[in-house]
Amino acid sequence: MKKKKVLVLGLAIMLGSAQMLTVSADTIEEVQQQQQQTEGQLSQIEDSINDLEDQKEQITGEIDSLDGQLITTIASINSLTDQISDKEVQLEQTAADLEEAEADKQEQYEAMKKRIQYLYEKGGNAGWATILLEEKDITELLNQAEYTQKMYEYDRNCLENYAAVVTQVSDLQSQLEGEKSELETMKSEQEGQQAYLEQMLEEKRATSADYDAQLADANAKAAEYQQLIEQQNAEIQKLIEEQERQRKAAEEAARQQAEAEEAARQQAAQQNNQNNQSNNTTPSNNGGGSNGGSSNDGGGSNGGGSSNDDTYVPDNGGSSGGSSSNTGSATGQAIVDYALQFVGNPYVWGGNSLTNGTDCSGFVHLVYAHFGYSVSRQSAALRSDGYGVSYAEAQPGDIICYDGHVAIYMGGGAIVHASDEKSGIKVSYNAAYRPILAVRRIV
């Protein structure tokens, strides 16, 4: 009864530990999935940041180009303004020159009118007659007439020159006014271009500011995602540490259970030996019943001997004597209980010692050999031993076969096996941690 209680308690401890580890593994997987989702969101926001930076760079280039055009336009407007100012100065000077030329022309005209008037008033028909009658010398008369003619020509030339000057100055004034008008038109066009460029710059700068705001938001969001990923990493690490702590606790529980079961088995074996010794004790006075007693002893001895030989007595060391004393009548749970004694012992490839080291197939072979079962020594060959059952039908003591590996099923999804050089012989709480090729039942 004690043995059954110990087994039930140990199994409950192992199943509870396995469940805790399974829950912990599920939690880790959930957090890892959340982390992957966060990393995907971070990748998307980083792509958005790159796109925004490209657009910001493009708009910055456009702003620089517009700035250059605006500078050129403003410089052109300033140049045109200076040229218009120069034309205005020239026009003022031309207007003054024209006014002066008009005045000179008018003055010359007035002087010429006075001379002509004087000649006509002093000369006339009577005047010329008097001159002719009074003049004794024809040369003097001709000289006087020639002088008068030259004076007429001079006045006409002066008048024509003044008129030409007036025309020239007037034409220059018209030309300057036309040039000034052209410059003012060009300036107006450049001012329109300046207004357009300034409007475009204002729009581009507003767009650039919007990109800056979007970039600031995106960078803030990326920082939040990065912080969340760090928190998730810390949570995953914490869960892994907790899972490792639970694993060690489960292994310790399994070890304690194995020790308790071994103590119970030793106690049962000791009690069994004591019972056998009591049954084999004969009375000192056999009398006339010696033949019957001898016959009964013989039968009892044979029957009792056969019964004792079939009874498994643990030797706590996996000795060949214990194995030879069994004829393959152990239960699957007994195989599991025996295998758990060696948890923590080393893994040695090709080794054949449950204490000093063995590999995965050697572990299964030696455990079953302890109970008198002859199973294959290689993992691939073990797939053909016994008979196959589905994983859903697996029971404690069944052999779980993987590709290049074997283990003993404990029940509740757990296995005990010689794992590797790092872990040695250990309990794993997820039998399906790798693809299962076969489940073989020996007992």
In this prediction, residue 140 carries a pLDDT of: 65
Specify the number of domains making up the chain.
2
* Contact (Cβ atoms closer than 8 angstroms) between residue 409 and residue 394: yes
User: Is there a single domain that holds both residue 89 and residue 186?
Assistant: yes
95 in a domain, yes or no?
yes
* Number of CB atoms found within 10 A of residue 150's CB: 10
CA distance 242 to 234: 12
Q: What is the dihedral of CA 153, 158, 162, 168, to 10 degrees?
A: 70
pTM: 0.40
* Contact (Cβ atoms closer than 8 angstroms) between residue 246 and residue 16: no
The dihedral sign for the CA sequence 178, 180, 185, 189 = positive
Q: Which amino acid is at 11?
A: L
CATH number (domain holding residue 130): 1.10.287.2610
In this prediction, residue 249 carries a pLDDT of: 86
226 in a domain, yes or no?
yes
* Contact (Cβ atoms closer than 8 angstroms) between residue 422 and residue 413: no
In this prediction, residue 278 carries a pLDDT of: 61
In this prediction, residue 321 carries a pLDDT of: 32
344 in a domain, yes or no?
yes
Of all helices (H) and strands (E), which one includes residue 325? Answer: none
Q: Which two tokens stand for residue 326?
A: 């069994």
CA 299 to chain centre: 83
Instruction: Spell out a b/e string for 65-78, using b for 16 or more CB atoms within 10 Å of the CB, else e.
Output: ebeebbeebbebbe
Q: Which two tokens stand for residue 187?
A: 């300036």
Residues 6+ apart with CB under 8 A from 61: none
376 in a domain, yes or no?
yes
Q: Model confidence over 340-355: pLDDT tens digits?
A: 999 999 999 999 999 9
Per DSSP (E only), the strands in 242-316 are none
Beta strands 399-402 and 424-428, pairing class: unpaired
Domain boundary among 174, 207, 241: 241
Q: pLDDT under 50 in the chain at which residues?
A: 1-9, 11, 13, 15, 17-23, 124-125, 281-327
CA distance 38 to 35: 5
258 in a domain, yes or no?
no
231 in a domain, yes or no?
yes
* Contact (Cβ atoms closer than 8 angstroms) between residue 143 and residue 71: no
Q: Which two tokens stand for residue 84?
A: 């218009």
Of all helices (H) and strands (E), which one includes residue 346? Answer: none
User: Is there a single domain that holds both residue 236 and residue 363?
Assistant: no
Phi, psi of 355, deg, nearest 5: -95, -50
Domain boundary among 241, 269, 297: 241
User: Is there a single domain that holds both residue 222 and residue 370?
Assistant: no
CA distance 277 to 386: 37
269 in a domain, yes or no?
no
Domain boundary among 241, 264, 298: 241
CATH number (domain holding residue 395): 3.90.1720.10
CA distance 184 to 190: 10
Phi, psi of 406, deg, nearest 5: -140, 160
Q: Which two tokens stand for residue 313?
A: 């007595």
Q: Which amino acid is at 223?
A: A
* Contact (Cβ atoms closer than 8 angstroms) between residue 215 and residue 49: yes
In this prediction, residue 25 carries a pLDDT of: 59
Q: Which two tokens stand for residue 274?
A: 């004591």
User: Is there a single domain that holds both residue 210 and residue 338?
Assistant: no
In this prediction, residue 101 carries a pLDDT of: 80
Q: Model confidence over 182-222: pLDDT tens digits?
A: 999 998 999 999 999 999 999 999 999 998 999 999 999 89
Give the domain extent around 418: 329-443
CA distance 405 to 31: 31
Q: Which residue matches tokens 């053909």?
A: 384
In this prediction, residue 130 carries a pLDDT of: 58
172 in a domain, yes or no?
yes
Cα→Cα distances 40→36, 45, 47, 226, 229, Å: 6, 9, 11, 11, 11
User: Is there a single domain that holds both residue 221 and residue 347?
Assistant: no
Residues 6+ apart with CB under 8 A from 112: 155, 156, 158, 159
User: Is there a single domain that holds both residue 114 and residue 229?
Assistant: yes
